Amino acid sequence: MIIEGRAVVIAGDDLDTDVMYPGAYLNIDDPEQMKPYLFEGFDPSLRDELGDDALIVTGANFGIGSSREHVVQAMKAWGVRGVVGKSFARIFRRNCVNLGLPILACPDAAEAARPGSRVRVDTDTGAVEVDGQTFQAQAIPQLVLELQASGGLVPWARERLSS
């Protein structure tokens, strides 16, 4: 799968899911209603940069802490196309894979990207292009590739239930 988008850069390392979606708003279970609180504890103005062409670029160890899926649900509700970062915390990465939001660890690409950079990602080969320069993302395990190809855990489960 090829995804292309405009880089929305979230600067810094070790950013946690609390600042990405503060606990006070966890009593919301409808993704549409989660949208206004994404990035609320970090930089609410980042929401103005989102849109259905946005591709989020992060630093190292992004998404530490809480398992709250609200962060990724809200990103999806905003139309975010994918996430490229230096590295990710485990549960955040899982949540992206499970919700069908392509996620790739590619430190060089994350370093090269600037706000507004054009980013093109081949999720099958792991090639990440930033403003015309190509980088290679870390290999993705087969089962994770299959999940991504299905569009996430929900369609994967639906297929499994119907077969």
Partner 1 sequence: MPHTLAEKILLAHTEADDVRPGDVVMVRCDVVMANDVSGPVAFRAMEKMGASRVFDPSKVVMVADHFMPAKDARSAELQKRLKDWSDAQGVMFYGQGRGGIEHTLLCEEGWIVPGSVIAGGDSHTCTYGALGAFGTGLGSTDIAACLVFGEFWQAVPSTIQIEFVGEKQPFVTGKDLILAVIGELGVGGATNAALEFVGEGAEALSIDERLAVSNMAVEAGAETGLFPADEKVGEYLAGRTDRPWTADRSDPGAEFVRELRIDLGGVPPLVALPHLPGNVVPVADAAGTKIDQVYMGNCSNGTMTDLRQAAEILRGRRVHPDCRMIVVPATQRIYREAMKEGLLDVFVEAGAMVSTPTCGACFGGGMGVLGAGERAVATTNRNFRGRMGSPEAEVFLANAWVAAAAAVAGEIVDPAEVLAGVSA
CA 34 – CA 14 distance, rounded (Å): 22
Looking at beta carbons only, is 12 or 51 nearer to partner 1? 12
52 binds partner 1 (CB under 8 A): no
Start-end of H helices in 52-152? 70-77, 90-98, 107-112, 142-150
Looking at beta carbons only, is 130 or 140 nearer to partner 1? 140
Q: Residue 111 to residues 10, 58, 98: CA-CA distances in angstroms?
A: 11, 9, 26
163 binds partner 1 (CB under 8 A): no
12 binds partner 1 (CB under 8 A): no
Classify residue 162 by burial, with Cβ atoms within 10 Å: 0-12, 13-18, 19+: exposed
CA 3 – CA 56 distance, rounded (Å): 12
CA 124 – CA 116 distance, rounded (Å): 24
Q: Which stretch binds partner 1 (CB under 8 A): 3-11, 49-57, 128-136, 137-145?
A: 137-145
Q: Residues 1, 126, 148, 60: is their CA dihedral positive or negative?
A: negative
161 binds partner 1 (CB under 8 A): yes
150 binds partner 1 (CB under 8 A): no
Looking at beta carbons only, is 56 or 72 nearer to partner 1? 72
Beta carbon of residue 92, minimum distance to partner 1 (angstroms, whole number): 8
Close Cβ partners of 79 (under 8 Å, ≥ 6 residues apart): 50, 51, 52, 53, 54
Chain residues 88-117 in contact with partner 1, contact rule CB under 8 A: 89-91, 94-95, 98-99
Do you know the residue count of the chain?
163
Interface pattern 30-49 for partner 1 (x via CB under 8 A)? -----------xx-------
Residues contributing to the site for partner 1 (CB under 8 A): 14, 16, 18-19, 22-24, 26-29, 41-42, 60-61, 64-70, 72-73, 87, 89-91, 94-95, 98-99, 141-144, 147, 152-154, 157-158, 160-162
